[in-house]
Chain A
Amino acid sequence: MNEYTIICVDDEREILDAVQYDLEPLASHFDLEAAESVDEAESVIDQMQSENRSLALVLCDHIMPGRLGVDFLIQLNQELETKKARKLLLTGQADLEATIEAVNQAGLHYFLAKPWDSGALLKVVIDQLTTFVIENVEEPLSFVKVLDGARIFNSIHENEI
C-alpha cells in the first residue's frame, strides 16, 4: 500500500491507457489512479483522503465533457489537502487564456502538449514527484530508487547541514 497517489484524468480511455503505461515504472511507489472525468477524479480524491492517502501528482486533460481540467486544478489548488500536489496539464488544446489561468490560479507546475513523448512524460513526472517528495515527505530516501536520486540525496544533505 502506497501512501501517495498519482491521478490521471482524461476523457479518452486510450489516452488514459497510454499514460498509465508510461507511468508504470512508478507504480511500485505510487498508486496509479485513472479517472475518465473530473467528477470521477474528485470522488477518487475523497476516497483517498478517507484512507489517509495523499495526492502527490495530478496529470489532467483540459477539454473534457462536464468540467474543464483547468477548473479542476484551480479547485485542487484551493483545498488544503491537495494544494501541495504537483499539477500537470496534458492537453492539446488549452488556449493561452486557459493556460494563463492555470498558471496564475491553479499554480500549474507543468504543461505537457499532446501528442507527447513517453520518455519525456515520465521524466517530467519524475522531476515533479521528486520536488514533491523533497518538499512534503519526511523520509524521501525510500523514493530514491524510482525518482531523481541525486536531487533527493542533495536535499537530505542540505537539510542536515
Chain B
Amino acid sequence: MKRYSIMCVDHNPEIRARVQEELTLFSSHFNVVTVSNAQEARLEIEILKERDEPLSSILYEPESSENQGIEFLIELNQDDFTRNTRKILFSGKMMLSDMVDAVNQARLDYYIQKPWNREGLLKVLIDQMTTYILSHDDNFLSFAKVLDQDRIVKAHVDKQIEKYQIGFLDYSKVSDEELSKELIDALYHFFKGNDQNNACREYGPNHFLTREGEVNNLLWFLAEGEVVLKRKNTKGIDQEVMRERKGALIGVMSFISGEKAFVSTHTLTDVEVIELDHAMLAEVMKSKSKLLPLFTNLLIRGFNHRLQYSILTETKLQETLKSLETAHARLIESEKMAILGQLVAGVAHELNNPVAAILHSTENLEKNISVITGSDSFPNIKNLGRKILDQARSAAPQSTAETRIRTEKAIKLYHSRNTARKAVQLNLDDEAHFKKHFQKFGKKVESAVEYLYLFYQGGVFLRNIDVCARRIADIVKGLKNYTRPDTRKMETIDLHTGIEDTLVIFENKLKSYEVIKEYAELPLVECFPQELQQVWTNLIGNAIDATGGRGQLKIVTRAVTKRNSIDCVEVLIEDDGIGIPPDLKEKIFELNFTTKREGDFGLGIGLAICVQIINRHNGSIKVESEQGKYTRFLVTIPQVLPK
C-alpha cells in the first residue's frame, strides 16, 4: 500500500506540536510532516518526492513565509508533484486580496481560521484527504478506516458499477466468439503454472459433464471440441436438445441455481475444458476482478441464447401444433372425401336409373303425343282418355302384383291377357266399366283399350319424369349436403335430415340390405350438422363393411331425458354382421386401430373421428356387440350444446 504524506507549515512550534498530535490518527496511512516555514517545506517536499510519498494535503500559515503571503501556495500549484495537493490556509486573519489570489492562483481548497478546534480540523482534513485519495489512488478502499468511510465505500461501489458498466458497454460490441475467447485465454493465463486443482483438463468423447436430474457443482468453459445436451422425453428416451461448441459455458444453470441438472451433457469429440467449482471460480474472480464483467457478460449471453433458443423452439412447436391441427382437419376431411370417392360410383349409378327413365319417358311420350292430341279414332272416349291421363299422372302406380291378380280376373272379359292387363292398369277392368265403356266396341274392344292405354302411358311417363327428376334432385341435394365444406357453424336441426342425406349417399350400397328405420319424433338439436353427418357415414359404412354387402341395417332414433335431466337424442345404428371381438371393443375408438381392408369404406380412422366429433357435442358413443350376431352403436347427443 502506497503511503502519502500530510504537511503543516506554521512558525509557531506549539501549534505545530498540537497539530502533530491531533493528526496522529492518520499516521497509519500518512506520513505527518510539520515544518516552521516555506523554505523548510520546500526541502521536505523534495524528500517526499524522492520517497514517493505524494503530499495529500498541506496546512499552510501565510506568516510562515518570507514574504508573509500566499506565493508559496501558488508555487505548489505550479509543481507537478504538489499541484493536486489539497491546499488549506491555516490563519487567524486573512486579507481579502490574499484570499482571492489564493483561490484564483493557488486553487485554494479550504481556509481554517485560527483558533481551531480538533474536531473541526480533523473534519476538514478527512474531507480534503478523502477527496485527494479518491482521485489519486485506485486502491482508495484501504483508506476507508482513517478517512471518510461513507464516501470511500460509495465511491468504491460507483467505481465498480462504472467498471462493470464500462465492461458491459465494451463487450456489447464484442462477438460471442471474441468474448469467450478473451475469457478462456485469461483463464488459461491465470492457471498457467498455478493449476494445483487441475482446472484445465481434456476429456475424450462420450464423457458426461452433467447428468440430468443430478446435482451439479461444476462449471465448464469449453475451450475446444463439441458437446451435446440431451434430455429424456416422456417415454424416457434421450432426445437431443442442442449442441455446444468451442467457447460455450456448460453446466451454468445447475451450477448457479443449485437445482438439479436439467439436461445431460456429454462430449462428442475430444474436448479441452476449464473445469471450476464454486471455490475456484470465486478465487479466479477475486484475484482477477477484470474477468468478472467478462464472465457475467458471457453468462448473460449464454442465458440469452438459451432463452432465445427455447422461445424459438416454443414458436416452432406452436407452428407445428398449428400445422398438425390443420393436418388433422384435413385428415378428417380426407376421410370424408375418401368415403365419398368410394361411394361416388354408386351414386352415379343411382343417378343413371332416373336419367335413363326420364330419357325413355320423354322419348315414349313423343310417340304417344301425336295420338293423344291428333285425330280421334275413338272420339267418344277421348274425354275418358284425358281423365285416365290425369289419373295416371297423379296417382301412385298399381303394384305389379296387384295388376297381375286383377288381370287374371279380367281375362274372361277381355280374352287377351295383354288387353286385360292394360284394362287393369286403366282401372277399367271390372264388369261395370267393361259394360259402360267397351262392350259397345264389339270386336274393336282391344283397339279401344289400346287407344286409352296411350293416354295412360302418357300420364305414367309424365309422372315418371317428375318422380325421377325429384329423385335426381334428392341425390344431388344429398351429395351437396355431404360435400358442403364444414362451416363450423352451429345449427339447430332435425337429426333425421342428416341421417336421410347419408342414406341417400349409401343408397346404392344399401340396395341389398333390409333397412329398418324406427324414427321417433325428435326435438331439434343444436349441432354441427356436417360433423354429425360424418358420424352417421362412418357408422353406416362400418355396418356395410361388417356385413359383407348384404344384411340388415337398423336405425333407431329416440328422444330421452338423462338422469341429470338433460334432454338428449339417441341414434342407434345396428347391423347383423360379424360383430366385434370383446378384446377389441375398447380399441376400436383409437386413432391407430383399424380392421379396414382394401375396398372397405374410409381410411380406417372413422371411429376415432366419430369420438372427437361426438365429444365436441358433449355427447357419448357406446358400442355393444356379439360376435357373429350384431354390432350396435349408440350415439347420444344433448339437445342443447353447452356454451
Tell me the A5-40 residues at the B interface (CB within 8 Å): 11-18, 21-22, 27-28, 31-36, 40
A114 is an interface residue with CB less than 8 A from chain B: yes
Closest to B359 in A: A115
A27 in contact with B356 given A18-B361, A18-B364, A64-B512 (CB within 8 Å): no
Q: Hey, what's the 0/1 contact readout for B408-438 against A, CB within 8 Å counting as 1? A: 0001000111100100000000000000000
CA gap between A27 and B414 in the complex, in Å: 15
Closest to B345 in A: A93
Q: Hey, what's the 0/1 contact readout for B333-377 against A, CB within 8 Å counting as 1? A: 000000000000110010011111101110110000000000000
Q: How far is the CB of B151 from chain A (nearest CB, A)?
A: 103
Can you give 9 A-B contacts (C-beta < 8 A)? A11-B511, A14-B353, A14-B354, A15-B353, A15-B357, A17-B464, A18-B464, A65-B514, A115-B352
- Contact A1 B416, beta carbon cutoff 8 Å: yes
- Contact A114 B356, beta carbon cutoff 8 Å: yes
B397 is an interface residue with CB less than 8 A from chain A: yes
Among B228-236, B398-406, B631-639, the stretch that binds chain A is: B398-406
Residues of B within 8 A of A66 (CB): 512, 514
A126 is an interface residue with CB less than 8 A from chain B: no
- Contact B356 A115, beta carbon cutoff 8 Å: yes
Known: A40-B401, A44-B404, A115-B359. 18 other contacts (CB 8 A): A1-B411, A1-B417, A2-B417, A2-B418, A14-B354, A15-B353, A17-B461, A18-B361, A21-B457, A33-B400, A34-B403, A35-B400, A35-B401, A92-B352, A93-B345, A93-B352, A114-B356, A118-B360
Q: How far is the CB of B357 from chain A (nearest CB, A)?
A: 4
Residues of A within 8 A of B401 (CB): 35-36, 40, 43
CA gap between A31 and B461 in the complex, in Å: 21
The 5 closest A-B CB pairs, nearest first, are A115-B356, A18-B360, A14-B357, A14-B464, A93-B349
CA gap between A63 and B263 in the complex, in Å: 66
Main secondary structure of the interface of B (DSSP, over half): helix
- Contact B363 A118, beta carbon cutoff 8 Å: yes
CA gap between A142 and B525 in the complex, in Å: 68
- Contact A15 B356, beta carbon cutoff 8 Å: yes
B468 is an interface residue with CB less than 8 A from chain A: yes
Q: How far is the CB of A143 from chain B (nearest CB, A)?
A: 15
CA gap between A13 and B464 in the complex, in Å: 9
* Other-chain contact of A17, B345, B460, B513 (Cβ < 8 Å): B460
B94 is an interface residue with CB less than 8 A from chain A: no
B508 is an interface residue with CB less than 8 A from chain A: yes
A156 is an interface residue with CB less than 8 A from chain B: no
* Residue from A35, A36, A63 with most neighbouring chain B CB atoms (10 Å): A63
Q: How far is the CB of B474 from chain A (nearest CB, A)?
A: 14
A153 is an interface residue with CB less than 8 A from chain B: no
Closest to B461 in A: A17
* Other-chain contact of B360, A21, A43, A47, A92 (Cβ < 8 Å): A21
Number of A interface residues in the complex (CB < 8 A)? 35
CA gap between A112 and B223 in the complex, in Å: 86
* Residue from A18, A28, A34, A64 with most neighbouring chain B CB atoms (10 Å): A18
Tell me the A78-101 residues at the B interface (CB within 8 Å): 92-93
By a beta-carbon cutoff of 8 Å, the part of chain A in contact with chain B is: 1-2, 11-18, 21-22, 27-28, 31-36, 40, 43-44, 47, 63-66, 68, 92-93, 114-116, 118
- Contact A65 B511, beta carbon cutoff 8 Å: yes
- Contact B400 A34, beta carbon cutoff 8 Å: yes
* Other-chain contact of A31, B403, B417, B511 (Cβ < 8 Å): B417
Residues of A within 8 A of B397 (CB): 13, 17
CA gap between A116 and B461 in the complex, in Å: 17
B467 is an interface residue with CB less than 8 A from chain A: yes
Residues of B within 8 A of A18 (CB): 356-357, 360-361, 364, 464
Q: Hey, what's the 0/1 contact readout for B442-482 against A, CB within 8 Å counting as 1? A: 00000000000000010011001001100000000000000
CA gap between A65 and B550 in the complex, in Å: 9
Q: How far is the CB of A121 from chain B (nearest CB, A)?
A: 9
A63 in contact with B511 given A21-B360, A36-B399, A40-B400 (CB within 8 Å): yes
CA gap between A43 and B404 in the complex, in Å: 11
Residues of B within 8 A of A31 (CB): 417-418
CA gap between A92 and B397 in the complex, in Å: 24
Residues of A within 8 A of B349 (CB): 63, 92-93, 114
Residues of B within 8 A of A13 (CB): 397, 464
- Contact A21 B416, beta carbon cutoff 8 Å: no
Residues of A within 8 A of B345 (CB): 93
Residues of B within 8 A of A64 (CB): 511-512
CA gap between A3 and B86 in the complex, in Å: 148
* Residue from B352, B354, B357, B461 with most neighbouring chain A CB atoms (10 Å): B357
Residues of A within 8 A of B511 (CB): 11, 63-65
Q: How far is the CB of A43 from chain B (nearest CB, A)?
A: 8
CA gap between A116 and B512 in the complex, in Å: 23
- Contact B512 A68, beta carbon cutoff 8 Å: yes
Q: How far is the CB of B366 from chain A (nearest CB, A)?
A: 11
CA gap between A32 and B353 in the complex, in Å: 21
Residues of B within 8 A of A32 (CB): 418, 421
* Other-chain contact of B364, A15, A21, A93, A114 (Cβ < 8 Å): A21
- Contact B418 A27, beta carbon cutoff 8 Å: yes
- Contact B418 A114, beta carbon cutoff 8 Å: no
- Contact B353 A92, beta carbon cutoff 8 Å: yes
* Residue from B353, B363, B461 with most neighbouring chain A CB atoms (10 Å): B353
CA gap between A61 and B467 in the complex, in Å: 20
Residues of A within 8 A of B403 (CB): 34
CA gap between A19 and B517 in the complex, in Å: 31
A114 in contact with B417 given A18-B360, A33-B404, A65-B513 (CB within 8 Å): no
Closest to A11 in B: B511
Residues of A within 8 A of B418 (CB): 2, 27-28, 31-32
* Residue from B360, B364, B467 with most neighbouring chain A CB atoms (10 Å): B360
Residues of B within 8 A of A92 (CB): 349, 352-353, 356
CA gap between A40 and B416 in the complex, in Å: 22
CA gap between A92 and B411 in the complex, in Å: 36
Q: How far is the CB of A18 from chain B (nearest CB, A)?
A: 4
Residues of B within 8 A of A93 (CB): 345-346, 349, 352, 508
* Residue from A32, A92, A118 with most neighbouring chain B CB atoms (10 Å): A92
CA gap between A28 and B397 in the complex, in Å: 23
CA gap between A93 and B417 in the complex, in Å: 33
Q: How far is the CB of A23 from chain B (nearest CB, A)?
A: 11
* Other-chain contact of B468, A14, A16, A22 (Cβ < 8 Å): A14
Q: How far is the CB of B1 from chain A (nearest CB, A)?
A: 107
